[in-house]
Amino acid sequence: MNQSELMIALSELAVATEHEIQMEESPYGIDKKKLGMWIFIVSDACTFGAFLFAYGYMRIGAPVWGTPFGFSSIMNGMVMTAVLLSSSLTMLAAVRAAQSGTKALAEKWLAVTMILGAVFAALHLREWFKLFGEGWRLFYNPTGGAQQFGATFFSVTGLHLTHVVSGIIALAFITRGYNQGHYDESHVETAGLYWHFVDLVWMFVFPLMYLMNAR
Amino acid sequence: MSSNRELTMSSYVGLGVGLMLIVGLEVILTYQHLATRTLLFSLLCLASLEGFVAIMYLMHVKYERRILFWTVFPATLFVLIFLCYFFPDAFRMASMRLLK
């Protein structure tokens, strides 16, 4: 075999290997976007876990801890939970509509999800401003107890709020791209996975940050 | 896991109502004036139950291949448990400062 024949044989082998790689199915049975989102979710879960463990140790370790949340704030938190949970259901409806090919319906449910996300963010900010009005700051406790309350509360809920706002922006991009045909149902499904994760995190943030600090 | 029979939308709404009921139970527990550690443990258990339901049904892990569950969750739980386990070492490290 001369050099040119060897080169041809090698190039054919390369093409065949590339074809095999492209045809090989993911062992997880999901596309790479969704797998990438799962890896992000795992790393983000560890970030939230670290924040919540830090809060938990300080909460139990401090002899006097701030308990700023009256019944009205707890009710506000319950409404926020209901809103976020409803947005998860509307996201599911959007994914189902996208998978069944009913584009207009999927876009409608995506819009409802974004609106519910915005309502959640507004309720969250209302609670923050109520705390600011009572004198709570990042490093100041107006009741004279542990100053770490503000640091932990605003950090954890701020991180979660950032995720909600990022999710709304991401959903807006996905909806626009889906409408224009740049994105398909797999993009909607991947965005939905992120949105459900944001909901999942809130299921831990609400009892630990609000209920543990109820008056 | 790995079941292809996905829930209907009305079943998902029922699931959402169930999750809200657990949240209601958490609020009731909050006003029972339990000891801080007992309340924290109870709330964490209920939140974990909610989280498990959300992961399995809302995030569709129940309908994916088992390998996804076994790759992602044991490793994540391991990291989270060890984060919790080693976190108090931060306090020990503070007392080990070379420059006081």
Domains in chain A, ordered, with CATH? Answer: 31-213 (1.20.120.80)
Of A38, A49, A207, the CB nearest to B80: A49
CB A88 within 8 A of CB B58: yes
pLDDT in tens, B13-27: 999 999 999 999 999
- The pTM (predicted TM-score) of the whole model is 0.87
Instruction: Establish if B41 belongs to a structural domain.
Output: yes
| pLDDT at residue B99, rounded to an integer | 52
Instruction: Establish if B2 belongs to a structural domain.
Output: no
**Binary contact (B79, A57; C-beta < 8 A):** no
**Measured between beta carbons, which residues in chain A are less than 8 angstroms from residue B58?**
88, 92, 196, 199-200
Shortest Cα distance, chain B CAs vs residue A82, angstroms: 7
**Measured between beta carbons, which residues in chain A are less than 8 angstroms from residue B23?**
78, 81, 203, 206
**Binary contact (B43, A208; C-beta < 8 A):** yes
Of A53, A96, A206, the CB nearest to B9: A96
Instruction: Establish if B87 belongs to a structural domain.
Output: yes
Domain count of the fold of chain B? 1
Of B47, B60, B68, the CB nearest to A207: B47
**Binary contact (A212, B40; C-beta < 8 A):** yes
**Binary contact (A203, B30; C-beta < 8 A):** no
ipTM score for this prediction = 0.88
Per-residue pLDDT tens listing for chain A (215 residues): 677 777 777 777 666 565 555 567 778 888 889 999 999 999 999 999 999 998 988 888 888 888 889 999 999 999 999 999 999 999 999 999 999 999 999 999 999 999 999 999 999 999 999 999 999 998 888 888 788 889 999 999 999 999 999 999 999 999 999 999 999 999 999 999 999 999 999 999 999 999 999 98
Instruction: Establish if B1 belongs to a structural domain.
Output: no
| A143 C-beta neighbours (distance < 10 Å), count | 14
Burial B5-26, CB ≥16 within 10 A → b, else e: eeeeeeebeebbeebbeebeeb
* CA proximity to A113, closest of A23, A52, A66, A174: A174
Summary mean pLDDT of chain B: 87
User: Helix (H, G, I), strand (E, B), or coil: what is residue B8?
Assistant: coil
Which of B62, B68, B77 to mutate to test binding with chain A, by most A CBs within 10 Å of its CB?
A: B68
Range of the domain at B73: 9-95
